[in-house]
Copies of this chain bind each other. A is one copy, B any other.
Amino acid sequence: MKLFDCGMAPNPRRARIFIKEKNLDIEMQEVSILDGENLEPEYIKINPWGTLPALQLEDGTVIAEVPSIFRYIEALHPEPNLLGDNPFEAATIESWERFSEMQGMQAVGEYFRNSNELFKNRAMPGYSGVSTIPELVTRGKARVAWFYQQLESRLATAPYLAGERYTASDITALCAVDFGIRVGLAVPDDCMHTKNWHSRVSDRPGTQI
């Protein structure tokens, strides 16, 4: 197996943390998003959607999309469990993992890409080739603020996003929050539960990556 990775990008980091939490050693191949290598023919042959990460199996087939990569790796390497060990927990983890991506990661990405000249013809990840729209900078920022409110409400009632233990939900939320911090959208000071959670999950050996 080989993971097509991009060291500076927040989505591939989700897969890298998952792999490290599983104590696996998987070959990584760097593809630079900043240099646009993910949209060049060589990589489009591997993943037509142009997104990173992608997991290539021994027979050459490719699994794109982070949650699918999570699912495949967990099926082959069930321990430690990160996707749930009963139907309700699995659904809860998937729900918060998804929320953290769509309302967190994508909102930060909307703010960041639309305010950055480098992404003027690729304002969304991958190949769909959309242009930046200045109003999305403001919208992205407002969405991130809402995302933090939702995290805070949840983490006031549970130590981790899916409940009592660390799961894939926390991996994606952590990557979204760290992406936010990097681009100037840090967790607001009054979100104490979120700050405590962030400090706890950031201390794990698996997230040092």
Report A's interface with B, CB cutoff 8 A.
48-49, 57, 61, 63-65, 67-69, 71-72, 75-76, 87-88, 90-92, 94-95, 98-99, 102-103, 127-131, 133, 135-136, 139, 142-143, 146, 150, 153
| B63 and A95 within 8 A (CB) | yes
A sample of 18 cross-chain residue pairs with beta-carbon separation below 8 angstroms, ordered by A number, consists of A49-B103, A63-B88, A63-B91, A63-B92, A64-B99, A65-B94, A67-B94, A68-B91, A68-B95, A69-B91, A71-B87, A71-B94, A72-B88, A72-B90, A75-B91, A128-B143, A129-B146, A133-B136
Q: Report chain B residues within 8 Å CB of A67.
A: 94, 98
Query: How long is the Cα–Cα vector from A117 to B73 in the complex, in angstroms?
Result: 45
CB-CB nearest in chain B for A126: B103
Known A65-B99, A92-B68, A103-B128: A75·B48 in contact at CB below 8 Å? no
CB-CB nearest in chain B for A69: B91
Q: Report chain B residues within 8 Å CB of A128.
A: 103, 142-143, 146
Query: How long is the Cα–Cα vector from A71 to B74 in the complex, in angstroms?
Result: 15
Q: Report chain B residues within 8 Å CB of A48.
A: 150, 153
Query: How long is the Cα–Cα vector from A95 to B95 in the complex, in angstroms?
Result: 16
Q: Report chain B residues within 8 Å CB of A143.
A: 128, 130
| B65 and A90 within 8 A (CB) | no
| A133 and B133 within 8 A (CB) | yes
CB-CB nearest in chain B for A83: B71
Query: How long is the Cα–Cα vector from A9 to B57 in the complex, in angstroms?
Result: 38
| A57 and B88 within 8 A (CB) | yes
